[in-house]
Amino acid sequence: MHIMIDLYLTFTKIGAMMFGGGYAMLPILQREIVDNKKWSTADQLADYYAVGQCTPGVIAVNTATFIGSQQAGIAGGIAATLGVVTIPTVLILIIAAFLSSFMDSVIVAHAFNGIRACVTALILASVIKLFKGSVKDWPTRIIYIAVLALAAAGNFLAAPERLTRLWNIITSPVFLVIISGMSGLIIRSVQRSVKGGRE
């Protein structure tokens, strides 16, 4: 199959299975992109997610653009992006036509309580894989714990009254991703100079 068609169809399929937002896409991506298609490694997927979180736009779409363009340049990026939004767009257009009856359906509500529990478990399995691939030594353990603490605090705790602006900045994904990238740069150069000094 032509790579463009393959990219478009693969991401159309992924888009159709993406229940519960960008993070729910991770288990599906690990299966489709890493295991089946071998378009990226698990580590590269983590890289794309990191970039997708600190650039504008929807994480799921950003990750699709990234993988597509790594496979087949600009056209590949466009093909993957169009693929991932196709089914959600069509579905919403259908639902928009009879919105209230869909939302009021008790069966839909029950089904989604089940799906949410399932998605929680699937994301947990993906996070464990990611953790093993990316947190391997003391510096990365410290980065992991610090970022998790700040991000979780931002999600779960109310901002302190006087420091709302500062709080919002230091708990935002953009800030955390940028600081972690800079930390990586500093840690690696310190490690290199220590090694160089010894030799």
The footprint of other proteins on residues 95-134 (CB under 8 A) is: 95-96, 99-100, 102-103, 107-128, 130-131, 133-134
Min dist CB 64 to other proteins, Å, is 9
State the Cα–Cα distance between residues 107 and 31, nearest whole angstrom.
Answer: 29
By CB under 8 A, what part of segment 141-160 binds other proteins? 141, 143-148, 151-152, 154-156
Write out the two tokens for 77. Answer: 């990026």
Residue 7 or 177: the one with the smaller Cβ distance to other proteins is 177
193 counts as binding other proteins under rule CB under 8 A: no
How far is CA 165 from each of CA 104, 118, 151, 160, 173, rounded to the nearest angstrom? 39, 36, 15, 9, 15
State the Cα–Cα distance between residues 60 and 18, nearest whole angstrom.
Answer: 9
By CB under 8 A, what part of segment 25-84 binds other proteins? 26-28, 31, 43, 46-47, 49-62, 65-66, 69-70, 74, 77-78, 81
4 counts as binding other proteins under rule CB under 8 A: no
Determine the residue type at 122: L
State the Cα–Cα distance between residues 86 and 16, nearest whole angstrom.
Answer: 8
- Residue 124: how many CA atoms within 13 Å on its side-chain side? 6
Min dist CB 156 to other proteins, Å, is 8
181 counts as binding other proteins under rule CB under 8 A: yes
Min dist CB 163 to other proteins, Å, is 20
177 counts as binding other proteins under rule CB under 8 A: yes
Contacts of residue 195, defined as CB under 8 A and 6 or more positions apart, other chains included, come to none
Min dist CB 130 to other proteins, Å, is 5
170 counts as binding other proteins under rule CB under 8 A: no
Residue 10 or 62: the one with the smaller Cβ distance to other proteins is 62
Closest by CA position to 71, among listed 55, 83, 88, 59: 83
